Each structure stands twice: as structure tokens, then as C-alpha cells.
Amino acid sequence: MLTKRIIPCLDIKDGRTVKGVNFVNIRDAGDPVELASAYARQGADELVFLDISATNEKRKTLAALVKDIARHINIPFTVGGGISSVDDVGPLLEAGADKVSINSSAVRRPELLDELANAFGTQCIVLAIDARKINNQWVVHTHGGKTSTDKKLFSWAKEGQERGAGEILFTSMDHDGTKSGFAIDPLEKLHNFLSIPVIASGGAGVMEHFTQAFVLGKADAALAASIFHFGEIAIPDLKKYLLNQGIITR
């Protein structure tokens, strides 16, 4: 088994880390710089930073905050929120981001993925897909899960790969914040369908859920937020647990 990655996710709103359930009922989870620094010290393999209000409020991700976080960590760092052009990405990479996450703007204009991959390389581009199961189909949503689209999870992920995304970050909106476990079936299907890494997101509640995501869902990485933010699972303990399960993390 290839090494797996544990990725804390910092959803940022108005400069604070927040967390909700099923993309609503948002509550404060702390200072993003302090959390990022703590996660780097604890052995997180990467971080994801999503400015969850950037797309809705038509403003760009806070480059100054990105810079501040990057100064405090020594692990790869993905930034997303409100990125809609090649011009938006340069300042974020200069501020210290290693990768950018694209969601709503890629659904609106898929050619953006081609443009970003050509400008910065596929290794820089993460296609984030938020999807919910409706009438037995995984339907892609945008704008922080508020807007349903005509795109379906698997065909959109495949198109994203073909256009130059280097990774897929799949969040099950049905599982998000519920702590009931990751969406295993679609994860496994994505793994079988794609040749690029898949990051599992939405539903982590106990350590066993990570084992399920890696072994059953074949995910390359697992992302979680509230269980880390609120101290329910410590990253060193999780990594020790996974090692005992025969799962090696970075």
C-alpha cells in the first residue's frame, strides 16, 4: 500500500476557522494560524485552507492570511476559495501556497482547469467536488454547497482529470460534519475510475473511519476538520493507530 496522507482542513470565514454540519450551522473553531502551526507540529501531512465565503461574497482568498499561515508551517499547503482566473493563483503561490483548490469557478467554466494546469502544472491543481446523492445519483453542488448543478460526480471528476487537475478532493455533503464515516462507495468508484489521487472528505468521526477510507474506499488521503479542531482525535494518535492497522502515512 502506498503511503497515505492525513490532512486537516481549515474552513475560513471572516479570518476565523469555522465548522458546520452538512454545510450549515457554522460555529467558530479557532484561529487559523494557531491551528495550522499546531497541526504541522503534530505531524499532519498537508493542510487545506478554504475561504468558504470567498465565492459567495465575490472576493478573493485572503493572500495575507495565506502568507501568515505559510510562515508558521513546513508542510504542503492547499488554498481555495474565490479562485476564478490564472491571475488569482500567482499571488497565492507567492504567498506560500503549494497548491490551489478550484470548485465553483471550474464548474462554471471548465476551461479554467486547462488554463491553470498549463500555467502552473497539474501538480498544483486540486479539483474540489462537493456532491450530494439525489435520486441515486451524486450531484455536484457549488457555492459552498448552496447551488445544485447539472454535473454528476464521476463524469465531472473524469473531465477534471482530463483537463489537468492533479488531484480530486471529494466531499460528500451528506456525510459532512456528521461523524458517521466517509462515503466509501463513491470513493472506491472514483479510485477505479481515475488515475490521479483522490482525497476523501466529509464524515470522519472515529479512527476506524480513516481505515475504511483507505482500505475500502482506496482513498489516497483523508481530510477532516472538527475532530481535529475540537481535540477529539490527535493526529499522532491517529497515525499510530493507522500504523497498527498496516497503513503507512507520510
- Nearest of 37, 65, 176, 160 to residue 105 by alpha carbon: 160
Contact 79, 61 (CB under 8 A): yes
**Residue 250 covered by a domain:** no
Half-sphere exposure of residue 238, counting CA atoms within 13 Å on the CB side?
30
Question: Residue 104 is inside which H or E element, if any?
Answer: helix 104-108
What CATH number corresponds to the domain at position 152?
3.20.20.70
Predicted pLDDT of residue 54: 56
Confirm whether 249 is domain-assigned. Answer: no
Mean pLDDT of 167-194: 95
Q: Which helix (H) or strand (E) holds 192?
A: helix 184-193
Helix (H, G, I), strand (E, B) or coil at 204: coil
How far apart CA 122 and CA 46 sit, in angstroms, is: 17
In this structure, is residue 70 part of a structural domain? yes
Please give the share of the chain, as a percent, with pLDDT higher than 70. 89
pLDDT band at 57 (very low <50, low <70, confident <90, very high): very low
Cα separation, 125 vs 116, in Å, equals 7
Residue 20, amino acid: G
Give helix 86-95 / helix 111-120 axis angle, nearest 10°.
40
User: Closest Cα to residue 177, out of 4, 34, 9, 53?
Assistant: 9
Whether 166 maps to a domain, the answer reads yes
List 45, 130, 176, 220, catalytic entry:
130
Number of domains in the chain: 1
Mean pLDDT of 58-80: 82
Catalytically annotated residue among 11, 51, 88, 176: 11
Residues spanned by the domain of 20: 5-244
pLDDT at 12 (0 to 100):
82
Tell whether 169 is covered by a domain: yes
Average pLDDT over residues 180-188: 97
Ramachandran region, residue 213 (left: φ > 0; alpha: ψ -120 to 50; beta: rest): alpha
Tell me whether residue 130 is one of the annotated catalytic residues.
yes
Catalytic, 98? Answer: no
Residue 56 has pLDDT above 60, yes or no: no
